[in-house]
Amino acid sequence: MIGEYALLALLLVLGPGLVVAAPIYAVHRRRFLRRAVETPGTVVGSDWEKRRDDGPSTYRLTIRYRGPDGRELTFEERGLRQDAATGTPVTVLYDPARPTRAHIAFDAGKSDRDALLLALAGAVVITFTVVFFLGNPG
């Protein structure tokens, strides 16, 4: 019984949290795109990264690029992207006010799709919670 209440509490926070996070994520990414500067970069490392022994792995790319002052900078990008072997050229977007804040180039459409997926995931969690917990008293 306590487990059900804990799950209900988690879902009541998770669903709305995802719905609220979606537009914040989209606005944040679009704001970054508006001020970002494009520059060439190179993948200098790629490997699977396991955060915990029992947890899932994520793919990690290490990217090198030159900042506005000519210094070589690196950043890591994590995710499911596995199509970039060491030595692969990539386009880097960085914030000129903070050149160490960089990402592999992405478009606003992808950010909007990602935000939509977050919102849909939140809506699914909310629907599940309503139907299976709040819709079944007792």
- pLDDT tens-digit map of 106-117: 766 777 788 888
* For residues 79-103, average pLDDT: 85
Report the C-alpha gap between 132 and 31 in whole angstroms. Answer: 39
Q: What pLDDT does 108 receive? A: 64
* For residues 86-106, average pLDDT: 90
Whole-prediction pTM: 0.70
Q: Residue 71: CB partners within 8 Å, gap ≥ 6?
A: none
Among 82, 88, 95, smallest CA distance to 64 is for 88
Q: What pLDDT does 131 receive? A: 85
pLDDT 10s digits, 28-38? 888 888 999 99
Among 76, 100, 80, smallest CA distance to 90 is for 76
For the chain, how many helices (H) and strands (E)?
2, 5
Q: What pLDDT does 82 receive? A: 60
Q: Tell me what the pLDDT averaged over the chain comes to.
A: 84
* For residues 12-41, average pLDDT: 90
At 137, is the pLDDT very low, low, confident or very high (cuts 50, 70, 90)? low
What's 132's DSSP letter? I
At 79, is the pLDDT very low, low, confident or very high (cuts 50, 70, 90)? confident
At 1, is the pLDDT very low, low, confident or very high (cuts 50, 70, 90)? low
Q: What pLDDT does 52 receive? A: 66
Q: Please, are residues 8 and 133 in contact by the beta-carbon 8 Å criterion?
A: yes
